[in-house]
Amino acid sequence: MSNFSKLKKQSTLGALTQKLVKEAEKMNNGGNAADDKYWKLECDKAQNGYAVIRFLPAPDGEDMPFVKMYSHAFQAKGGWYIENSLTTLNQKDPVSEYNSELWNNGTDAGKEQARKQKRKLSYIANIMVVKDPANPQNEGQVFLYKFGKKIFDKLMSAMQPEFEDEDAINPFDFWEGANFKLKAKNVAGYRNYDSSEFGKVEALLGGDDDALEALWNKQHSLAELVAPDQFKSYEVLKKRLDQVLGLAAAPAARRPQEDVEDDTETEMAIEEQIKKAPSFKKSEPAPAPELPTVKGGEDEEDPLAWFQSLAD
């Protein structure tokens, strides 16, 4: 069926009217349609939470099942600075430049400020929610999921097991992947995901190819999230940074060789693993090769969203 035929069918069924009414209600209620694409684990007052999700393959026409995003979120006398970093695109970013100056000025105060303003690393992938006790209406639906290095390390460990008696799996595979049990708890005042784990290898939706293809077609584009037109320009970010830090008359900073204390060596190691990891394109299931393991530290599920909530 052509797109025009689909349009005509939607008109006959009244689907377009229903969609317009739904979107209008969101606007009137202050809702953000873009936020509806993202799923977040809901925790109780004790900061404990549980859900089961399935990481999905790369969307149709794209090569990778996840994208990497850098962002900055900090507060100063001029308000909050909450922006995605141009270093995501391998371009110079005003915060990274200024942090480099702070780090190199030889003072403890400069280094401390640079630490508070350092970029945050997060990843975004498509998931299907298998079980969500707090919001059962999400079950069976496709969402974007933003997560940090802790969960990313668990994905990499699944593809590159540490011990010989562990079988490597591709957690993004429809047929040879596995559900991910997301378990959150409060450790020393911070949300911790150490107890999260993959279940047994099993085909999603019972391996029904028709159902899987329909699910695949519902996935959101990941490449669009990190397209250049989704980022503010260097000039706009620089102006905002100057306002927040009170640096309106500050001279232009030089471009650093790397961000301050960003675990660059670890990130390079991860990127090298990604190059060696099994292909994520839709294909017949194949055993994943054994590769070296990369260890990581603590992180938050969605650092940028957390800071945004504070700002709001």
Spatial distance between the Cα atoms of 96 and 114, rounded to a whole number of angstroms: 9
Segment 117-134, tens digit of pLDDT: 999 999 999 999 999 999
Spatial distance between the Cα atoms of 292 and 271, rounded to a whole number of angstroms: 12
Per-residue three-class SS string for 181-193 = EEEEEEECCEEEC
261 against 108, higher pLDDT: 108
281 against 48, higher pLDDT: 48
Instruction: Answer whether residue 69 shows pLDDT above 60.
Output: yes
**Quick check: 72 and 120 in contact, CB under 8 A?**
yes
Other residues' Cβ atoms within 10 Å of the Cβ of residue 127: 22
Spatial distance between the Cα atoms of 141 and 167, rounded to a whole number of angstroms: 29
36 against 268, higher pLDDT: 36
Domain 47-311 falls under CATH 3.40.50.10310: no
Instruction: Answer whether residue 5 shows pLDDT above 80.
Output: no
Domains of the chain by residue range = 47-311
Segment 138-152, tens digit of pLDDT: 999 999 999 999 999
Q: What is the residue whose two structure tokens read 């945004």?
A: 308
Q: What percent of the chain has pLDDT over 90?
A: 65
Position 41, amino acid: L
What's the pTM value of the predicted model, to 2 decimals?
Answer: 0.71
The predicted structure's pLDDT at residue 14 = 59
